[in-house]
Structure 1
């Protein structure tokens, strides 16, 4: 069951490259950065994920990243999800992310699953909403 919203993010893609096309399955890598909130605290976030084009036209992706506060607190994340191309030329991603931190500000995120909506636009803009999964 979806719980409370624990974060938001908006930003932009900073790079994309093709890693492989072996077997007809394109594998790409994309990086992004942005700003937002995590548990009500302002953060800068950056991450990189790999996407594999599936035979049905959907994408499977796995990624990792880090969020940092202005005071230097950090929380790292790993996630995976499924993407679908949208009419605007971007991708709508849905999946789960798992956090790890020693920072007291974000300790609540240790050991819980967070589901996300991560949307990209053809222009390179990205936005995300994060919800605790209870």
Structure 2
């Protein structure tokens, strides 16, 4: 069951590169930086993900990153999702994300599955929402 919203992000892409085009399947890597909230705390977030173009035009992606608070607490994350190109030339992503941390304020995220909506625009802007999956 979808639980409470635990986070929001907004920011921009910081880099994109093509990793391979073998066999007619393009694989790209994209990085982003964002600010937002996680469990009510202000965070800076950065991540990199690889996406592979599928035969039906959708994308399959996997990524990882780190969220940091102003007082130095860190939370790492790993995510997997599927994407569809949108009208702006960006991609709308939907998937799952898993966190790891020793930070006391975020320890409840360990062992928690979360789902995300992460949308990119052709201009490079990104925004996302994260929900606990119960």
Q: TM-score range by the shorter chain?
A: over 0.9
Tell me how far apart the structure 1 counterparts of residues 25 and 61 of structure 2 sit (CA, whole Å). 13
Give the unaligned 5+ runs of structure 1: none
Tell me how far apart the structure 1 counterparts of residues 37 and 122 of structure 2 sit (CA, whole Å). 24
Match of 2:73? Answer: 73
Q: TM-score, normalised by structure 1?
A: 0.99
What's the offset of the Cα at 1:87?
1.1
Match of 2:130? Answer: 130
Runs of 4 or more, structure 1, over 3 Å off, are none
Tell me how far apart the structure 2 counterparts of residues 117 and 95 of structure 1 sit (CA, whole Å). 7
Give the unaligned 5+ runs of structure 2: none
Which deviations, in whole Å up to 9, do the C-alpha atoms of 1:2-52 show, x marking residues without a partner?
A: 100000000000000000000000000000001000000000000000000
Report the secondary structure of 2:102's partner residue: coil
Alignment of 1:88-107 (within 5 A): 88-107=88-107
Match of 1:7? Answer: 7
Count of equivalent residues: 134
